[in-house]
Chain A
């Protein structure tokens, strides 16, 4: 029984990271219709920046926000330099652009930082807590708490603030939104900035547990995808649920079936979702425009 509990804890911890990435995907997709393959790199930027700052002696409570801001800046730059100039580009162009951006960012991080693996201490120490026969790291609680907080923030922001509603309006019909006086450019900038901030925050929170290095972003992005698909593209609740579910599926596969194909579970999930229920758990029905 305590084994199952351990598996669940493992699944939720990792799942919370996937959820944060999925939330970032969802936000950008909602606003611009772009699937941002560079989402994983924001996580790395957050983690590497924080590691560099903390390594240089900056206290954690200053380094963390700075790392998130760094991520935000890169997000805005991504939008301004790569996405906006592309305009109404065809699908394949947008895919290549965001993948190209992720490759570029990875190369930049090799150059700006280094190729080593980095870590810093957990925010509340590293002594594991015992829970009913299983153990959990305090940092895991930060990660889980962080993802839930992000979700709650997004739910409030997108529904209760003007800026947030502006993003939603831009997403559903850009021209109409512009016609009613919404600054669509600012809405887009904001959604990219937010999405990047979410990713960077995930990186900052996760690094004490997962470590960080310049090339861990790719696989993370792919798993984050899987979470988004499972939860339903465009639904923040779906992103949260999808992320946690993928994490759980992976942990339970490793625990009960075979650790060899644990990684495969995320991709099997993608295929199953797309074949059987493309809109995912919470997404809207997909309509084909003629």
Chain B
């Protein structure tokens, strides 16, 4: 049956190994997590340097928020190999908790934390039965879960504003910077916040990959049974990955709600879940840099394609199909392979 075949399962390990090969001493001083954070920080700053207007900051903010959400997918899909078609549901939980909280007198930061906790808790509880499944069954179960979350958000209008959505009042990033005496425009402020959080998220994910837990996750990717024979508690490890990825999605959702000032149930819909997974596999599900590249391309694409708006769906669909056929492991590994081949 299809669904097997090697993936980029060993890729994070390769990265780590190659990294430790080269100039060993310098590498050893800065751990992979910190290194990732610094690279992200440089990219964030690079954007800020060249962006000429709020519009760019706005798109940039979306890219970093998406990167954060997709990093969670990388942990689940890239590290462990589990496909979820419902993660937008967790994203939406984070977003809506942040939106609803202030209506009941809960300040934004607390509401945000509550949403993230709720998403994590849901992932923990629902994860147990769901993660016993595998392959298509798992994908479809997560799809069902995501759809149910989306439906609840659409129907319970008294709480969520219904299909039209609701306004999100709450902390403006600008105020954060005012505290330290910096005057920034709203779009700029959000860009820095989103970039910072994405960078931290990436660093955590990379550290996870290089930790014993991370190695356990990757062992599961290759084979459940083999991992179990090594003494790994497979169910617990999968659950951990599921919860972690849900948390990433929820934090990203909360940030989006605040940055947009408005939220609708579509953020929890099937198409958004598909988008998240596509961003991961497009860039390369094995690494957080793949997440960044995938998020960048799919977020910037509609902006670049405005002339072809009528054909946007066809282009998007075609990209999805062609990438999976021609660049199975994603863009970043593909280009890296070309590079390596050129060198030898």
Contact = CB atoms under 8 A, between A and B. Distances in A.
Nearest to A92: B83
Q: What bracket does the count of chain A residues touching chain B fall in? A: 35 or more
Nearest to B85: A95
A104 B314 contact: yes
Contacts of B317: 100-107
A103 B314 CA distance: 7
A7 interface: no
A267 B154 CA distance: 15
Contacts of A9: none
B5 interface: yes
A97 interface: yes
B140 interface: yes
Interface string A220-253: 0010011001000100000000000000000000
Interface stretch (B56-64, B141-149, B260-268): B141-149
Nearest to A286: B137
B314 A274 contact: no
Nearest to A91: B3
Interface string A265-280: 0011011001100100
B83 to A, nearest CB: 5
B4 A271 contact: no
Contacts of A268: 144, 148
Nearest to B224: A288
Contacts of B316: 100, 103-104, 107
Q: What bracket does the count of chain B residues touching chain A fall in? A: 35 or more
B313 A90 contact: no
B285 interface: yes
B270 A218 contact: yes
Contacts of A92: 7, 77, 83, 277, 281, 285
B2 A33 contact: yes
Given A90-B3, A111-B311, A263-B151, A97 B134 contact: no
B320 interface: yes
A99 B143 CA distance: 13
Given A96-B278, A270-B141, A103 B313 contact: yes
B132 to A, nearest CB: 8
A91 B314 contact: no
A108 B311 CA distance: 8
A86 interface: yes
Nearest to A225: B140
Contacts of B4: 88, 90-91, 289
B328 A93 contact: yes
A271 B141 contact: yes
A94 interface: yes
Contact of A91 (B135, B143, B313, B319): B135
B31 interface: no
Given A274-B137, A274-B141, A95 B2 contact: no
Most buried by B among A85, A107, A278: A107
Interface string B274-296: 10011001000100000000000
Most buried by A among B4, B143, B324: B324
Q: Is chain A's interface secondary structure helix, strand, loop, or mixed overall? A: helix
A62 interface: no
A268 B225 CA distance: 30
Contacts of A33: 1-3
Contact of B321 (A104, A106, A267): A104
Interface string B194-234: 00000000000000000000000000000111000000000
Interface in B2-59: 2-7
B122 interface: no
B285 A222 contact: no
Interface in A196-223: 218, 222
Given A101-B321, A264-B148, A268-B148, A110 B313 contact: yes
B337 interface: no
Contacts of A222: 143, 147, 270
Contacts of A261: 151, 155
Nearest to B2: A33
A104 B136 contact: no
B139 interface: yes
Contact of B320 (A96, A270, A289): A96
A34 B324 CA distance: 14
A260 interface: yes
Nearest to B282: A96
B242 to A, nearest CB: 15
Contact of B134 (A233, A288, A290): A288
A110 B83 contact: no
Most buried by B among A33, A91, A218, A274: A91
In the A-B complex, list the 7 residue pairs whose CB atoms are closest, starting with the nearest: A100-B320, A104-B317, A107-B313, A103-B317, A107-B314, A91-B3, A33-B2
16 contacts: A82-B325, A90-B7, A91-B3, A91-B135, A94-B324, A96-B277, A104-B320, A104-B321, A106-B313, A111-B314, A218-B271, A226-B144, A260-B155, A264-B147, A264-B148, A274-B137
